[in-house]
Chain A
Amino acid sequence: MTRDRIPYAVFTLIVAAAGWYTDNPYYLQTLTFIGINTLLALGLNMLMGYAGQISLGHAAFYGIGAYGTAILTVHWHVSPWLALPGAVAAAMLVACIVGIPTLKLSGYYLGMGTLGFGMIVNILFREWSSVTGGASGFVGIPSLELGPISFSSTKNYFYLVWGFVIFSFILCHRIINSRVGRALRAIHDGEKAAAAVGVDTAKLKLQVFILSAAFSALAGFLYAHMVFFISPESFDFIASIRIVTMVVIGGMASVWGSLIGASLLTLLPEWLHAFSEFEMVVYGLILMIIMIFLPKGLTRGLLDMFERARKNK
């Protein structure tokens, strides 16, 4: 069992070192965004990669986390640390209500169902202006503070976000390698067969959907308190697709795949600024090439390439 822990220990050290040696606030901010996106990808990966259920509406939960904490802290003057469980619980409740009917669907139909849900929530953010600030956005979200530590500094915020990432990684790792994780993978391979061995497939699918919504809401919370300003565009249909892309590009059913996918999709637009107006073309092209040559995602694909190279030696 202890061998399992080594990668996480190494990863924690790398994160700590990155935080220690990076002083440039731009780099720190980019790394923090990678952390937030990793949480999003990780949550969706539990649902898509392990349980095999697609969701094209995950930005809705991301938005519920962000708007939830914004409303609680600004309108209701709740402490952000109480707003966090509040926002996460709200997303989980919505996931439960939405999940019960939609998870009866599968394949394309589940995609359509979740897509519709995401759009409804996005319209709600945009049109319910008395509460959400409407299309012009929500301003004045407070920064996080914990006793003497202020998270308004980029470096402290970096540590906070990556702390959550590491905690989530370990949590997911434990779930995946448990009886429940086995059952999730069983659902992926065959729902009927899973049911035949006594897995309550409907309940388990709902539970993993709720868990994945909780991760998204956590990411939304961290995003809101980092940028202090949120607007509906950050949680629209394209945002949902971006999360799906992170999971697919990084590698389905892999905790590390979420990290790699999130890193690539966060960094690519930054690197591609050089192409100015061709930016989106190159971006799309890179994603296409990855999918053509590494259809199992970067993580699995690179590992396969490495193993092939070793055998050929």
Chain B
Amino acid sequence: MLRITNLKCYYGRIMAVKGVSLSVKKSQIIALIGANGSGKSTLLEAVCGLLPGWEGDIAFEGASLKGCDPTAVVKKGISLVPEGRLIFPPLSVLDNLKLGAYTMYRKREHALVRQTLEKVLELFPILRQRAKQPAGTLSGGEQQMLAIGRALMSHPRLLLLDEPSMGLAPMIVEKIFQILESLRKDGITILLVEQNAQAALQIADHGYVFETGSVVLQGPASELLADQEVKRAYLGKDYGEFYDD
């Protein structure tokens, strides 16, 4: 569904992604894990058209995304849940959600937008309770749900999530990951960038481990979970723990 080949991204003269290739198949959850500054978020931004000037190729359903601006990417069926949620704090929850359907404004799409809104509110009942409140007054977890709900409003076939667990309590993280799994059952493909490798790999089919702009390790999620190197570097277990047992 999404195929990235030899992607290189730059910030000025600094190369942040150094020739990464990966592929995402339909209805899969793919996890990209790795430390800060390893190029995961950069890769997502390149896919969304937020970071122009990348080299290599990104193809979505067979068509290249080269030269697409963010609007065109959203119209093709890719939605981003940005890092740090980036909701619009003074706007009401409902307005935030409606903004997600910005690209669907033709008369014949109105019914569909209403339907989607209803579906999103069913998925996140808390958002219905808070519909009229300014989005800035929501808790972190609720804001994350709002960001996901907003991304779903444009009917994406591919959902990109950038660190959805950031700064959230473990219980909320679990809830959000459950929702991601249910979305996958509805046929939405998910590309997940996470530092919380444990949680991400538990729901993912396939994982890629990033380090300073390149993929150093990849494989089925279950294998990565068991991999010694991943455990050491990303699952919070240090050498001591390893060699003791």
Return the CB mask of B142-169 against A: 1 if under 8 Å, else 0: 0000000011011000000000000000
Return the CB mask of B55-74 against A: 1 if under 8 Å, else 0: 00000000000000111011
Residues of B within 8 A of A193 (CB): 82, 86-88
- How many B residues face the partner with a CB closer than 8 A? 28
Contact of B71 among A182, A186, A198 (CB under 8 A): A198
Q: Find out whether the CB atom of B82 lies under 8 angstroms from the CB atom of A186.
A: no
Interface pick from B26-34, B93-101, B200-208, B217-225: B93-101
Chain A residues numbered 188-212 whose CB sits less than 8 Å from any CB in chain B: 189-190, 192-200
A185 is an interface residue with CB less than 8 A from chain B:
yes
Known: A197-B99, A197-B150, A198-B74. A185 touches B88 (CB 8 A): yes
Q: How far is the CA of A198 from the CA of B75 in the complex (A)?
A: 8
Q: How far is the CA of A293 from the CA of B86 in the complex (A)?
A: 30
Which of B70, B90, B105 is the most central at the interface, judged by chain A CB atoms within 10 Å of its CB? B70
Q: How far is the CA of A84 from the CA of B160 in the complex (A)?
A: 49
B103 is an interface residue with CB less than 8 A from chain A:
yes
Q: How far is the CA of A199 from the CA of B153 in the complex (A)?
A: 13
Q: How far is the CA of A196 from the CA of B86 in the complex (A)?
A: 9
A179 is an interface residue with CB less than 8 A from chain B:
yes
Which of A186, A192, A195, A197 is the most central at the interface, judged by chain B CB atoms within 10 Å of its CB? A197
Q: How far is the CA of A183 from the CA of B95 in the complex (A)?
A: 9
Residues of B within 8 A of A196 (CB): 48, 50, 70, 74, 80, 82, 86
Q: How far is the CA of A187 from the CA of B131 in the complex (A)?
A: 21
Q: Find out whether the CB atom of A190 lies under 8 angstroms from the CB atom of B86.
A: yes
- How many A residues face the partner with a CB closer than 8 A? 16
Residues of B within 8 A of A183 (CB): 99, 102
Q: Find out whether the CB atom of B91 lies under 8 angstroms from the CB atom of A195.
A: no
Residues of B within 8 A of A190 (CB): 86, 88
Residues of B within 8 A of A199 (CB): 71, 99, 102
CB distance from A295 to the nearest CB of B (A): 15
Q: How far is the CA of A197 from the CA of B75 in the complex (A)?
A: 10
From A179, which residue of chain B is reached at the shortest CB distance? Answer: B105
Residues of A within 8 A of B70 (CB): 195-196, 198
B53 is an interface residue with CB less than 8 A from chain A:
no
Q: Find out whether the CB atom of A195 lies under 8 angstroms from the CB atom of B102.
A: no
B89 is an interface residue with CB less than 8 A from chain A:
yes
Residues of B within 8 A of A195 (CB): 50, 70-71
From A177, which residue of chain B is reached at the shortest CB distance? Answer: B95
Q: How far is the CA of A190 from the CA of B86 in the complex (A)?
A: 7
Known: A179-B102, A183-B102, A193-B82. A200 touches B88 (CB 8 A): no
CB distance from B91 to the nearest CB of A (A): 6
Q: How far is the CA of A194 from the CA of B103 in the complex (A)?
A: 11
Contact of B91 among A179, A189, A192, A200 (CB under 8 A): A189
Q: How far is the CA of A200 from the CA of B49 in the complex (A)?
A: 12
Q: How far is the CA of A200 from the CA of B74 in the complex (A)?
A: 11
Q: Find out whether the CB atom of A192 lies under 8 angstroms from the CB atom of B82.
A: yes
Residues of A within 8 A of B71 (CB): 195, 198-200
Contact of A182 among B74, B79, B98, B154 (CB under 8 A): B98
Residues of A within 8 A of B48 (CB): 196
Contact of B102 among A189, A192, A197 (CB under 8 A): A197
Known: A190-B86, A197-B100. A185 touches B91 (CB 8 A): yes
Q: How far is the CA of A194 from the CA of B48 in the complex (A)?
A: 12
Contact of A192 among B50, B90, B98, B150 (CB under 8 A): B50
CB distance from B192 to the nearest CB of A (A): 16
CB distance from B185 to the nearest CB of A (A): 24
Q: Find out whether the CB atom of A200 lies under 8 angstroms from the CB atom of B69.
A: yes
Q: Find out whether the CB atom of A179 lies under 8 angstroms from the CB atom of B50.
A: no
Residues of B within 8 A of A185 (CB): 88, 90-91, 95
CB distance from B17 to the nearest CB of A (A): 18
Contact of A186 among B50, B80, B99 (CB under 8 A): B99
Known: A196-B80, A200-B71. 4 other contacts (CB 8 A): A182-B95, A186-B99, A190-B88, A200-B69
A-B contact pairs, 13 of them (CB 8 A): A182-B91, A182-B95, A185-B88, A186-B91, A189-B88, A189-B91, A193-B82, A193-B86, A194-B99, A196-B74, A197-B150, A198-B70, A198-B154
Interface set of B (CB-CB < 8 Å, partner A): 48, 50, 69-71, 73-75, 79-80, 82, 86-91, 95, 98-100, 102-103, 105, 150-151, 153-154
Interface set of A (CB-CB < 8 Å, partner B): 179, 182-183, 185-186, 189-190, 192-200
The 10 closest A-B pairs by CB, nearest first: A198-B74, A193-B86, A198-B103, A195-B70, A189-B88, A200-B71, A196-B80, A198-B102, A198-B71, A186-B88
